[in-house]
Amino acid sequence: MSVSTFVLVPGAWHSSSCWQRVVPLLQAHGHRVITMDLLGTGNDHTPLSQVKLVTWVNQVVDLIKEQETPVILVGHSRGGIIISEVAQRVPENIKLLIYLAAFMIPSGETVSSTVLERKNEDSFVYHTNGTFTIKTDKMVPVLYNTTSSEWIERIPSMLSPEPLNIFSTPLQLTDDRYGRVPRAYIECTQDNAISLTLQRLMRDKLPCKYVVTINADHSPFFSAPSELATGLLDLAAKD
């Protein structure tokens, strides 16, 4: 069995702690796993007013360049736009892109222009410093609807505000760079944040080499860690 290096990029509001149930399952199979707090999130205290999409892309690019071999780059939710831009920058350093219930959008488009369903618009609180958070009473129904109560109790302390500008930044991707990196998508069938319909519409625009289906909410790292790890391991074994 070949050893892969996984780099796991969290989605909106989440820090590296969201991967804590998945990391040991991947490591148990001999793989290297790298997680990070994106700048301004988790234990990193960079002011979010200084954070733009390129800030996070630069951070992930620098980390990937430090690795000895091409990595498997995983992005959850909003993390999908980060891994797309990273692949555009350093395609030679990435073995596989894995979108986990993530935004996978074409060049020139934004997350805001991709979200066709506005059913969750009233779920957010917008702050004067250009960030937003999810309302406490909306967290479970939107993000954790199949997550056990034991884990739901731990989650609020792991969350950070999110810079709003990230969602209106258009991606700049090309076929000869981004397009040459193989893509996989892990869809979540009970996702109330990015619906299964939208997940599949995005794949219609940007077809993937592999698709894995998990019967879980938007946060399978909490609700279905074993199934998620199995999906990641299966994908790692394919190339």
Query: For domain 5-236, which architecture applies?
Result: 3-Layer(aba) Sandwich (3.40)
The H helix count followed by the E strand count for the chain is 9, 9
Q: Which residues contact 6 (CB under 8 A, 6 or more apart)?
A: 26, 31, 32, 33, 34, 71, 72, 74, 232, 236
- pLDDT beyond 80 at 1: no
**Region 136-159: what's the mean pLDDT?**
93
Of 94-108, 115-129, 215-229, give the lowest mean pLDDT range. 115-129
Alpha helices, DSSP H, located in 50-134: 53-65, 79-89, 111-114
69-73, 120-124, 210-214, 231-235: which has the minimum mean pLDDT? 120-124
pLDDT (average), residues 68-90: 98
Do you know the residue count of the chain? Answer: 239
Answer yes or no: is pLDDT of 178 > 60. yes
Give which of 162, 18, 3, 4 is closest to 100, Cα–Cα: 18
- Domain range list for the chain: 5-236
What is the per-residue pLDDT for 119?
55
DSSP secondary structure code for residue 75 in this structure: E
**How would DSSP label each residue in 155-218?**
GGGGB--EEGGGGGPPP---TTTGGGS-EEEEEETT-SSS-HHHHHHHHHHS--SEEEEE-S-S
Average pLDDT over residues 149-156: 92
Model confidence at 50, in pLDDT bands (50, 70, 90)? Answer: very high
Residue 2 confidence (pLDDT): 85
Sorting pLDDT into bands at 50, 70 and 90, what band is 239? low
d(CA 56, CA 62): 10
